[in-house]
Amino acid sequence: MTDTSDTAPPNMERRLSLRILTYWRGLRDQRAYPGLSDLDPESISDMWPCCLVLKVEGCESDPIIATCGHELQEHGGEDLTGKPLSTAPPQSLVANGASFFQEVLSKRVPITYGDKYINAEGNEVLFRSAILPLGENDEAITHLLCAANCREVEPE
């Protein structure tokens, strides 16, 4: 399970997608989107294990996985850092959680999406992810920040 809501303080927003969106908006301020250098993994240590950073500059059709949180790796089966997103196993949270990155590049705004997939063990997994654009100026998106968590559906 990568649902961090269990460990969240009582008065804190439980949903990862909303928490990462709030963090992103705070970094953005008056800009179109924040830059990669604005990210501070220590300040989001509760969410960072569920985060993935994709480098899209120069590889928009198949981004490179710049960093991959360990909780996402647990659902991908291997360390995908430095590899193209297309190499992520289709039954992984990384592949499914980042599947709509093209839409974020097109719309240039954060998108939150939830769905389900069947993992390598044959179990149904419900997931929700948010992909947020990052760029050093308001013109070009250089990276994407993706945060995803999931929950396996108990077999009947």
* Residues of the shown chain interacting with other proteins in the complex, contacts defined by CB under 8 A: 15, 17-18, 21-22, 107, 109-114
Positive or negative, the CA dihedral 107, 113, 115, 119 is positive
Residue (36 or 111) nearer to other proteins, CB? 111
CB of 98 to other proteins, least distance (A): 15
Q: What's the DSSP call for residue 105? A: H
Cβ atoms within 10 Å of 115's Cβ, excluding its own: 13
Smaller CB separation from other proteins, 1 or 32: 32
CB atoms within 10 A of CB 6: 7
Residue type, 68: C
Q: Residue 109 CB, nearest distance to other proteins (Å)?
A: 5
Comparison of 18 and 140: residue with beta carbon closer to other proteins: 18
* Tokens read off for 14: 């439980």
User: Cβ 121 to other proteins, closest distance in Å?
Assistant: 26
The letter for the amino acid at 130 is: A
Listed in order, strand segments (DSSP E) in the chain are: 51-55, 64-68, 111-118, 124-134, 143-152
Residue placing its CB nearer to other proteins in the complex, 15 or 151 = 15
The smaller minimum CB distance to other proteins, of residues 11 and 58, is found at 11
Least distance to other proteins, CB of residue 82, Å: 29
Gap between the Cα atoms of 40 and 44, Å rounded: 7
Q: Provide the minimum distance between the beta carbon of 110 and other proteins in the complex, in angstroms, as a whole number.
A: 4
